[in-house]
A and B are shown apart, each in its own frame.
Chain A
Amino acid sequence: MTIELQPPVDDPIVVDDLERLSFRVDRRAYTDDDVATREMARIFDRCWLYVGHESEVPEPGSYVSRDVGGRPVIMSRGSDGVIRVFANSCTHRGALLCSQPAGQVKSFRCPYHDWTFSNKGELTGVPLPDGYGPSFRKADFGLATHRSDSYRGFVFVTFDPEQPRTLVEYLAGATEYIDLVADQSETGMEVIQGAQLHGAQANWKLMMENSVDIYHFRALHKRYVSYMQSLGSVPPRRRGGFARALGLGHGANELPPAAARPLAHWTPMFDPELRPRMEATAARFADKFGAERAERITGMNRALLIFPNLMIIDAIALTIRKIDPVGANRMSITSVALAPKDEDPEIRELRKSHYLTFLGPAGFATPDDIEIVESCQRGYLDRTVRYSDLSRGMDKEIPETTDELPAREFWRQWDRLMHGDDGHFEVAQQAELQGTEKR
């Protein structure tokens, strides 16, 4: 795969000036078709991309089919228990093998000519095999199996056979935050059935920025703030906490919660009856992890951006949000809720209820996020204003959550990858890794 590099040196998209504390992004990055095309080749064809959670394929034979990085794939748990990610395309003539979003099968049968593949990807059945010559071997026609791996239940795939990093290396500092999520249950975490499949008529990167931006909360989400106030939870303008760059494009915000956390942080917005149960959970976590780490797991909110297109938002509920580009001007969004498998049924109901209040296409906040990113996209039609500014907190050793550090980390890695200069863990580490001391 050879990509013609545009000359970036004379006309950079990301203008990162540490001396003048200025960080600007040329709005071509959100609007231009050639940038969008190049992103697919230079980012989505090469990075480790989130596919799904192991709990979505709980049994041998379970599968899900979905698009990842613009490609239809199948995540299948084989009869041997191993999770594999296949190209959802028959090796004969290319038809989709799976048209169901999820299911349970021993084998995948192509509807076109009935070629049949095991749930481990082997070609097992070819009708009228005498039509092929003596050199035809079924072993040569197994499903294309992508390189995949999982970290703490989160399954990723890379379409780049040359991807130099293992998944753990790729995740860099983000593993610390995934651990804080995965440690929320002794019996494991699970995706709750019912995905919120929506989108926006805007560039996908706008939603990545928005998902890790705390600065807009009080301005754009006035109605959610009012709602929280009506429940007795008042989020202060400055929430405390800190922002971090986690290397290789990943970033996070971590902050004390303004509202309850269904795991073990009770506030008056929850029934008083639940308080002892939630405090007991908090005590159990303190025994297991020590007071400090337990407090961080149960008592802090966090938003984790995993480059390029995954958000894990751990607040009033736990959301996995996968954001996919559809050309330059559109995106699709898949949000699901993650929860402890062993969750108390009443708390599970509250989790779902509060998830819906904030999140998703009909919540009290996300619709405004959708509308505002679409509004930005329309604003970019006027090319007189060439740059967007993302410089908040550049002068701080430990930026606040209302600063824009995680977005800068995202853009720096984006810039490196788009310019072909991505083979260096070291360079990423040397970049502005503000907030790295803070734990």
Chain B
Amino acid sequence: MTSEVIVDEAAQVRLWHRVSQFLFREARMLDEWRLNEWYDEMLTDDIRYVVPATDVHGESADALGLIDDNAARLRQRIEQLLNGEVWCEDPRSRTNRVISNVEILADQGSYLEVAANVVVYRFGHGRSDAYVGKYRFELVPEGESFRIRRRLVVLDHETLYEHGKISIVL
């Protein structure tokens, strides 16, 4: 009995480690502006990237949010960011995503539900901003790694009066 628990825990730790490493790698790719690689290697074809409104603070099907991208629109967002058409990201801002509190909330068989806390620091055009939020991912296992099928960022800010905008992928 005892040994089984230990084996089980070791498997849990390994899984948690793999998930954490995946999220850290994603953060690094985004910080390095390797957006095409990120899109091609880390996301599923039916990716949904959602940032709800700050006054709703969480998901609500009826509410209007800040971002609700499907694959096509996310692709467009990335292309714009990379081709120099986004005036407010030219020159590109410097970002630093700090991820912690990584938790596997549930194993749903075909995917894992993962939560993490995140702070995205952004520096650009003479400004510095910090976006503080909670990630919720649906990670679909693929070989030893994963793909993200759902990427929810719930911002903890009451308003974005200071930030003004979200011009990067959070």
A-contact 0/1 string along B59-83, CB 8 Å cutoff: 0101111111000010011001000
- Interface status of B56 (Cβ within 8 A of chain A): yes
Q: Which residues of the other chain, A, contact B77 by a CB distance below 8 angstroms?
A: 364
- Interface status of B7 (Cβ within 8 A of chain A): no
Q: Which residues of the other chain, B, contact A336 by a CB distance below 8 angstroms?
A: 64
By beta carbon, the residue of chain B nearest A201 is B164
- Interface status of A192 (Cβ within 8 A of chain B): yes
Cβ-neighbour of B63 out of A193, A200, A370, A374 (below 8 A): A193
- Interface status of A223 (Cβ within 8 A of chain B): yes
By beta carbon, the residue of chain B nearest A356 is B68
Q: Which residues of the other chain, B, contact A198 by a CB distance below 8 angstroms?
A: 159-161, 163-165
By beta carbon, the residue of chain B nearest A348 is B62
- Interface status of B54 (Cβ within 8 A of chain A): yes
Q: Are B125 and A197 in contact (CB under 8 A)?
A: no
Given A362-B51, A367-B167, A371-B165, check contact A356 B65 (CB 8 Å). Answer: yes
In the bound complex, CA of A409 to CA of B128 (Å): 36
Partner-contacting stretch, out of B9-17, B27-35, B85-93, B142-150:
B85-93
- Interface status of A226 (Cβ within 8 A of chain B): yes
- Interface status of A384 (Cβ within 8 A of chain B): no
Q: Are B125 and A371 in contact (CB under 8 A)?
A: yes
Minimum distance in angstroms from B144 CB to a CB of chain A = 33
Q: Which residues of the other chain, A, contact B56 by a CB distance below 8 angstroms?
A: 193-194
- Interface status of B55 (Cβ within 8 A of chain A): yes
Binding site for B on A (CB under 8 A): 101, 192-201, 220, 222-223, 226-227, 230, 326, 332, 336-337, 352-353, 355-357, 360-362, 364, 366-368, 370-372, 374-375, 378
Binding site for A on B (CB under 8 A): 51-56, 60, 62-68, 73, 76-77, 80, 85-88, 125-127, 158-167
Task: Report 7 cross-chain contacts, Cβ distance below 8 Å, ordered by A residue.
Answer: A194-B52, A197-B55, A199-B159, A226-B85, A337-B64, A362-B166, A371-B165
- Pick the 4 closest A-B CB pairs, nearest first: A371-B88, A194-B63, A223-B85, A194-B53
